[in-house]
Homo-oligomer: A and B are copies of this chain.
Amino acid sequence: MNSVQYICGIVKGEWFIMKNKALQEQRIRGYFIEATKEILKSEGLKSVSVRNIAEKAGYSFATLYNYFKDAKDLVFLCVQDFQTECTEHVTARSAKAARGEKKLRAILLAYLEYFVQYPGIFELFYVEKLSDLNKQPATAPLITGFLDKLCEEEWKYLITGKTVSTAMAANKKAALLYGLSGLLLLYINRQMPAGYPAFLKAATTFIDGQLKDMNA
């Protein structure tokens, strides 16, 4: 017919067909992702297996390999979804707080709250080893930059308001990321401190300690 189609190797209405194919493919990928998310939130990472996911998705375990490199690949595709969910939780829980340090504090506590509620998601974010394919793309930066993104606005507010210097903010950002990661790691994996009240006390003490002398 026309040259353009021949150049692309496409004839007649194949463009629509290609589009449908991609759509259907995305749908099936979605079934697997949804199944994985369900398992992660309920039974946790330990129950994630190729056969488990496939059964929940309504396919054979072998079909999973037609859409994903392996189960780990699939698991890390859930990260974005959980991040938006966590972000929603954090914004809701920190909405009422006054801008600045107060809000920052609320954000950080809500962040901890989310992962305490879903330890499996903390595992996925910080503990589970990335597969070789997931090492390549921006999965790791996506995860490590998540807390920064949650706090971004507030740090901007504090910096532009001259409440804190850019350098100090960078240091505190890092310290809070390391501290909260360790706090969650020790609480979730080593029961330290023992019990949620003690954990909350340790968390607030740490956060307040970090946010205290920022105007230096």
Contacts and interface: CB of A to CB of B under 8 A. Distances in A.
A50 to B, nearest CB: 18
Contact of A209 (B126, B130, B175, B185): B175
B191 A186 contact: no
B175 A143 contact: no
A185 B190 contact: no
Nearest to A205: B171
A181 interface: yes
Given A140-B191, A143-B190, A213-B216, A175 B179 contact: yes
A23 interface: no
A209 B171 contact: yes
A78 interface: no
Contact of A190 (B144, B179, B180): B144
A185 B126 contact: yes
Contact of A127 (B127, B130, B175, B192): B127
A45 to B, nearest CB: 10
A164 interface: no
**Chain A interface category by residue count:** 20 to 34
Contacts of A206: 171, 174-175, 178
Contacts of A144: 186, 190, 192
Q: How many copies does the complex hold?
A: 2
A143 to B, nearest CB: 6
A162 B213 CA distance: 21
Interface string A144-185: 100000000000000000000000000100110111111101
Interface string A58-82: 0000000000000000000000000
Contacts of A216: 213
B189 A126 contact: yes
Interface of A: 126-130, 135, 140-141, 143-144, 171, 174-175, 177-183, 185-186, 189-192, 202, 205-206, 209-210, 213, 216
Given A175-B209, A177-B182, 9 more contacts: A144-B186, A171-B206, A175-B179, A178-B183, A179-B179, A181-B181, A182-B182, A182-B183, A213-B216
